[in-house]
Structure 1
Amino acid sequence: MCESIRPSKRPIIVTAAFSRRFYASCSTTDFQYENRTTRKTVPARNEPMETDTAPTRKERLGPKGRSTLVWLVAAAYFMDMLDGTILNTAIPTMARDFGQSPVRMQSVIIAYMLTVALLIPISGWLSDRFGTRRIFFSSIILFCAGSLLCAASTSLEMLVASRIFQGIGGSMMVPVGRLIVVKAFPRRELVRALNFVVLPALIGPLIGPTVGGVIVTFTSWHWIFLINIPVGLLVGLAILPLLPDFREKNPPPFDWWGAVLFGLSMVFISFALEGIGELHLSREMVSAFLGIGLLLFLTYWIHAFRVANPLFRPTLFRHRGFLVGILGGIFARLANGSIPFLMPLMFQVALGFSPIKSGLTLVPLFLASFIGKSAVERILARLGYKRLLLFNTLSLGVLIMSFSTIDEHTSYPVLLAHLAMLGVVNTMQFTAMNTLALLSLPREEESSGNSMLSVVIQVSLSMGIACAAAILGVYENIFGVSLHGISVAPQSDILRVFHAAFSTIGLIGVLATSIFLWTPRSAEMRKQIDRD
């Protein structure tokens, strides 16, 4: 089954990976400058801000300081997203230079992904222990150093090792950047602040494939990695003098056993999901990796209930908004995360689009997500989290199901409008789910909750692709159509497979609506926000 869904053309994989990277960038998101009626003495810039002074710490950052903060974090987001999308376009060229097949070059992407999955869980504790400024600065330096090593690689093995080193920095760069924004801004301003951070980052996936193509065509693939260094150095030099430093006054001891159990569980689960979605491993290998990952995951939670200071406290899930945001986010992303895999595949395999046309067709989806972020705050203020998430999740499922009506007779402008509507719904869904989870936590649990959210984002997007691949394979068997047999299978039969897959995945999104029935009401959310 896994083999039957593998695209026959490499550009399909590249386009799908680009789309998936964009979806990851949409994963976060009130940016009103503070009331300056209260003026207090500002401490020395490099003085750490302990969490026991949380009620006054926002007053230590004036408008200029907070504006600088969001731009620095946005630059880090941009660098991370640009790196992934540029790399995907260079894989075939790198494979030729190293004398490897493009399939083996997937190890370059998988090494980074597994390193991030392993180390994301500890980013919150490191920030609490050593301070957000130091960890954020270190993550960018490590990322840039890893980029330099990647550019200097002379073999596939050296490149994989360099990507692991780069992944150490990447695993902390985005989560800690988001954590700084969460801690620095009052809760009433969080939606707009995170929106501002993410907007520049969305440019990365938009220009990444084009920039990557130009670099590979006119220079060499080494500049794919070297382009990170000037951006990283500028951000790194600005962090130490300009960024606030948040840390816990008395952080708990590090949960080594918990970190090992949880980190390894994420590695095995992520590898199993990649095995279904892109690596096309056998069922036996996927089942083995998934079984080991789930066993380690269960063992971690048994451990977490028995120790005083676990890596992720079970008490996180006492907060209803956080629980709903996490669970709803998993199932909504299960539907949403399938789009980067299925959409380019349907365009090229079933509708006969060229890889270039397929990529350009997805641009309205990305642009609508970019533009739609500016309206999320106003809509949330008008409808509240519960009504917005109920309506939007239902709309998401219905829109995905409606792609089962797309065929060779669908006019191109109608298809573009359809994708633009999906882009607007996507950006509202991600913003509402993630800010619901973060706003529901007390200040002392923000670091742990932010790390948990990062893990969920990382894994659930892979789950979406794996789920789409599995469902597509089931319908291939039901309808007796193999995507490897494109030349002999009638177009109508191929479309039936994709239509059934979109209908099933859209139904998952519709069913996810029921989770958001438990979303706290507006009055309860206002109490959470007013705790600042």
Structure 2
Amino acid sequence: MDRRARGLALLVAGAFFMEILDATVIAPAAPHIAGDLGVPPVTVNVAITAYLLTLAVFIPISGWLTERFGARRVFTVAIIVFTLASAGCAAAVNLPMLVGTRVLQGVGGALMVPVGRLVVIRTTAKTDLVRAIAYLTWPALAAPLIAPALGGLLSTYASWRLIFLVNVPLGLLALPLARRLIPDVRADTPRRLDRRGFLLVATGTAALVAGLEGIADQNPRWPLAVALLFGAATALILTVVHLLRAANPLVDLRILRVRTYRVTALGGSVFRAVMNAIPFLLPLLFQLGFGWTAAQAGLVVIALFAGNIGIKPVTTPLMRRFGMRPVMAGAVLASAACLIALSSLTGSTPLPLILLVLALSGTFRSIGFTTYNTLAFADVPPERLTGANTLMSTVQELGAGLGVACGALLVRLGASFTEGAEPRFRVAFLALAVLLVVPAVEAFRLPATAGNLIVGRAKS
């Protein structure tokens, strides 16, 4: 990779940093936000979920906007929207206002990250994809390492509002760099926007989130929640039917016929959902169950992401030595074991043991994410990369958002037949471990030679 390509990859990595920071920084501060806004702590998950699922709703049109207006313009506008929305979150006076500004952040993130990643993928040879992904991944990994401590410390010793202002100077710095480094990639003849597909995706996703939040509410309104979930299922089924029949669909589901891509998109999204629920649940467990401060909880959660980063240098050699299938399956099974270990933690568990369990969970989380990200585009033809990137970004964000929502729902369900904070979190962690059966089965069904060429192990 030449110097300009590295600069482009690092700029996009910076965009990932901003997005991931805001996706994870809220969790340790949730009790403080809840106390200030007058809502239960678990309810603050809606601000996290709204952000992530807005990404999922708007990512599908990012490809069309890039074709129509050019990557440079879309990326620049996205940074502006994201930065202004971050300032708006800091000024929120109630939960609906916070959720609204988080939705605006999601709109900016939906147009910022996938467009940048698409430019990197389209301008990088397949033989350099692993290196390009490394450039994208390493700086972005710093965000979840910093976010728990930052969120906890600021909310404990200053104000939770400051956690949203961190991205403002980063956004101001990224603007001139985007104008210089992002190429003006666009289509000569942009395809028409699939408006029906977009409305169906937005309706189904919104109804799904509202239904899950309704069930997880402190006083669930069951008829409304069930009606919303039924409406979501109907809308999403109609979405799939429409996308398979449309001449120019919003997202191309036919790319799922590529086996390695399908495993990454479907099984990988379940894995991502489960893994993203953990950083949301842990700070709440430590504060509500163990009685720790937000600062203590945030600092301890760093162990999770320290394991995430620490294993990175050996992940590619592991894939090259053992192959993608064994490494992916091993990461999923080991993550399930770590969830079972997390369910056994109590307020009297020695701190070194807690740190060890968190570090191991982060280690296998990182291995799993890297294998899925590396395998995703291994067998995708170059002419289908745009559609594949859009669909992958959509299902990844949808999985992350639903993971947080499901985590909150499982805690609430645990409270219905257990007493005390610790038992309800134990139920949530065990249920999440069971969900990992799906990606484990998908991983074992992969061909033995899957991804060998892209990691340089052998010719497939």
Q: Which residue identity lines up with residue 267 of structure 2 in the other structure?
A: G
Match of 2:70 among 131, 136, 139: 131
Q: Closer, same or farther in 2 for the Cα pair 1:151/1:421, shift >3 Å?
A: closer
> Mapping of 1:280-429 within 5 angstroms?
281-407=220-346, 410-429=349-368
**Counterpart in the other structure of 1:235:** 174
Cα distance in 1, alignment partners of residues 49 and 407 from structure 2: 19
- Give, in whole Å, the separation in 2 of the partners of 1:195 and 1:312: 26
Residue 513 in structure 1 maps to residue 453 in structure 2 = no
Deviation string, structure 1 residues 424-473 (Cα, Å, up to 9, x no partner):
10001011113322223222222222222222222223433444455555
* Structure 2 residue corresponding to 1:453, chosen from 392, 411, 416: 392
Secondary structure of residue in 2 paired with 1:305: helix
Matched letter for residue 418 of structure 2:
V
Q: CA deviation at 1:72?
A: 0.8
Q: 2-side partners of 1:175 and 1:217: how far apart?
A: 34
1:52-87 deviation digits (Å, cap 9, x = unpaired): xxxxxxxxxxx2111211221121122223334455
Q: In structure 1, what is the equivalent of residue 382 of structure 2?
A: 443
Q: AA paired with 2:268?
A: G
Mapped contact 1:91–1:102 kept (Cα < 8 A): no
Of 187, 195, 207, the residue aligned with 1:268 is 207
Conserved 8 A contact 1:269-1:293: yes
Deviation at 1:299, TM superposition (A): 0.8
- Show CA shifts across 1:4-24 (max 9, x none): xxxxxxxxxxxxxxxxxxxxx
* 2:130 maps to 1:203: no
Highest Rg: 1 or 2? 1
Give the TM-score, by structure 2 length. 0.85
What's the CA shift string for 1:470-515, capped at 9, x where partnerless? 55555555xx5233xx6xxxxxxx55x6555544432332453111
Assess if the C-alpha contact under 8 Å between 2:76 and 2:179 holds in 1: yes
How do residues 32-111 of structure 1 correspond to structure 2 at under 5 angstroms? Answer: 33=1, 63-86=2-25, 100-102=37-39
Matched, 1:482 2:409: no
Counterpart amino acid of residue 482 in structure 1? E
Distance in 2 (CA, whole Å) between partners of 1:216 and 1:64 is: 40
Whether the aligned pair in 1 keeps the contact of 2:27 and 2:280 (CA below 8 Å) is no
Quote how far apart the aligned CAs of 1:138 are.
1.7
CA 158–463 in structure 1, closer or farther in 2 if over 3 Å, else same: closer
Distance 1:523 1:81 in 2: 29
> Quick one: distance in 2 between partners of 1:463 and 1:167?
15
Q: Supply the distance in 2 between the matched residues of 1:220 and 1:407 (Cα, whole angstroms).
A: 29
How far apart, CA to CA, are the structure 2 residues paired with 1:401 and 1:159?
A: 34
- Structure 1's 182 and 482: CA in aligned 2 closer, same or farther, altered over 3 A? same
CA contact (8 A) 1:276 1:469 kept: no
Q: In the TM superposition, what is the alpha-carbon distance from 1:278 to its structure 2 partner?
A: 7.1
Compute the displacement of 1:385 (Å): 1.5
Change (3 A) 1:338 1:226: closer
CA contact (8 A) 1:334 1:461 kept: yes
Q: Is the 8 A contact 1:321 1:436 kept in 2?
A: yes
Q: CA–CA distance in 2 between the matches of 1:96 and 1:505? A: 28
Change in CA separation of 1:181 and 1:325 when aligned onto 2, cut-off 3 Å: same
- Mapped to 2, the partners of 1:269 and 1:287 lie a distance apart of 10
RMSD, aligned CA: 3.5
Q: Does 1:192 align with 2:119?
A: no
- 1:150 deviates by 5.0
Q: Distance in 2 between matches of 1:310 and 1:137?
A: 26
Equivalent residues of 2:16, 2:113 under 8 A apart = yes
Cα distance change on mapping 1:512 and 1:253 into 2, 3 Å:
same
Q: Is the Cα contact below 8 Å between 2:59 and 2:110 reproduced in 1?
A: yes
Q: Contact between 2:87 and 2:164, CA under 8 Å: does it hold in 1?
A: yes
Please give the alpha-carbon distance, in whole angstroms, between the structure 1 residues aligned to 2:53 and 2:407.
Answer: 21
SS of the residue corresponding to residue 297 of structure 1 reads helix
Aligned equivalents of 1:126 and 1:389: distance in 2?
34
* Secondary structure of residue in 2 paired with 1:308: coil
Q: Which residue of 1 aligns with 2:83?
A: 144
Q: Distance in 2 between matches of 1:163 and 1:472?
A: 23
Counterpart Cα distance in 2 of 1:288 and 1:201: 39
Give me the whole-angstrom Cα distance separating, in 2, the residues matched to 1:324 and 1:186.
Answer: 23
In structure 2, what is the equivalent of residue 59 of structure 1? none
Deviations 1:115-170 (A, max 9, x none): 33331221122223333222212211222233455566778776665444433212
* Matched letter for residue 288 of structure 1: A
Q: In 1, distance between residues paired with 2:26 and 2:357? A: 29
Aligned residues: 456
Q: Structure 1 residues 70, 440: closer, same or farther in 2, change over 3 A?
A: same
Does residue 177 of structure 1 match 2:116? yes
* Shift in alpha-carbon separation, 1:239–1:475, aligned structure 2, 3 A: closer
Q: Give unmatched runs, 5+ long, in structure 2.
A: none
Unaligned residue ranges in structure 1 (runs of 5+)? 1-32, 34-62, 487-493
The Cα offsets for residues 213-249 of structure 1, whole Å up to 9 and x where unpaired, read as 6666887766554443332122111112222333344
Q: 1:202 Cα deviation (Å)?
A: 2.7
1:253-300 superposed Cα distances (whole Å, 9 cap, x missing partner): 221111111122122223333445578743333322222122111111
The alpha-carbon deviation at position 304 of structure 1 amounts to 1.8
Provide Cα deviations, 1:507-532, integer angstroms capped at 9, x if missing partner: 3324531111232443675289999x
Q: Distance in 2 between matches of 1:458 and 1:191?
A: 21
Note closer, same or farther for the CA distance 1:528–1:446 as it changes in structure 2 (3 Å cut): farther
d(CA) in 2 for partners of 1:265, 1:131: 29
CA contact under 8 A between 1:396 and 1:510: conserved in structure 2?
no
- Identical amino acids, percent of aligned pairs: 34
Is the 2:32–2:160 Cα contact (8 Å) retained in structure 1? Answer: yes
TM-score, normalization by structure 1: 0.74
- 2:412 and 2:382 map into 1 onto residues whose CA distance is 45
Structure 1 residue 321 displacement after superposition: 0.7
